[in-house]
Amino acid sequence: MHAISMNRRIAVLVSGRGSNLQALIDAVAAKRLDATIAAVVANVAGAPALERARQAGIPAVTIAHRDFASRDLFETAVVAELRGRDVSLVCLAGFMRLLGRTYLDAFGERTLNVHPSLLPAFPGVDAQRQALEHGVKIAGATVHFVTGELDGGPIVAQGAVPVHDDDSAETLAARILAVEHRLYPEAVASVLGGGWAIQGRTYVKRVDGDGPGQTRRR
Ligand code: GRF
């Protein structure tokens, strides 16, 4: 997999609160992220993230999965919306829906997700509680490409936080969330900036001064 041409128009898929969406909006406004958020799409009507989009003047679209008879029909509608907005990168930000073949065939190599653990540890829901119950001393967040495997695609960026003895799932989640808000815009900027490749399952950036097309291998 190689860097694909990027027009810097992105969409953000959400289901809930939207604090990572807000981090992306703020990064664009502060010019830390050179991108246009062309649409925010929610699969749940009334998701608070939609209001954040409206406040920022971004088209806020609801495509409620409940309105569709199958996953395939839901994903067909999402893909049509994204194509209509001419986006070249999709960012999942608290999007609580598994994406299947119909979506992945269209945008599978162009979709990022942020997950509140140091993957491959603790995929799936309640990652912070899983980490706490496992007794790890370091936790964190991961931005990764989306594939058919749950939280399993190539890793773009990770950030770590300590786990404190007196942490609850909530205090740990809050510490990790602060990392997510810094990490996600940085990772999106890295991907949009191009000059990367996926070697095996490793995301690598070209070293400055290398010839065209050459990539670094760890
Ligand atoms: C974040 O913890 C993210 O890592 C996970 O879902 C949560 C979404 O939070 N995938 P928000 O909606 O961005 O505030």
Write the pLDDT tens digit of every residue in 91-141.
999 999 999 999 999 999 899 999 999 999 999 999 999 999 999 999 999
For ligand 1, say whether the CB of 97 is within 6 Å of any of its atoms.
Answer: no
The mean pLDDT of 140-149, rounded to a whole number, is: 96
Whose alpha carbon is nearest atom 7 of ligand 1? 94
CB 17 near ligand 1, within 6 Å: yes
The pLDDT-based confidence of 184 (bands split at 50, 70, 90) is very high
22 close to ligand 1 (CB < 6 Angstrom): no
The ligand 1 atom nearest the CA atom of 16: 12
* Cβ of 127 below 6 Å from ligand 1: no
Residue 64 pLDDT level (bands cut at 50, 70, 90): very high
Considering the entire predicted model, what is its pTM? 0.93
Predicted pLDDT of residue 6: 80
Query: pLDDT for 89-104, tens place per residue?
Result: 999 999 999 999 999 9
Q: Whose CA is nearest to atom 14 of ligand 1?
A: 19
CA distance 206 to 197: 8
13, 19, 119, 175: which to mutate for ligand 1, most atoms within 8 A of CB? 19
Q: How far apart are CA 51 and CA 200, in angstroms?
A: 40
- Ligand 1 neighbour 19 (Cβ under 6 A): yes
18 lines ligand 1 (CB under 6 A): yes
Alpha-carbon dihedral sign for residues 62, 64, 67, 68 = positive
| CA gap 139, 51 in Å, rounded | 31
- The rounded Å distance from CA 94 to ligand 1 centre is 4
Question: Which residue puts its alpha carbon closest to atom 12 of ligand 1?
Answer: 18
- The whole-angstrom separation of Cα 122 and Cα 116 is 9
Looking at residue 215, its pLDDT comes to 41
The ligand 1 atom at the shortest distance from the C-alpha of residue 14 is: 12
pLDDT in tens, 22-45: 999 999 999 999 999 999 999 999
* Closest of 157, 129, 122 to residue 142, by C-alpha: 157
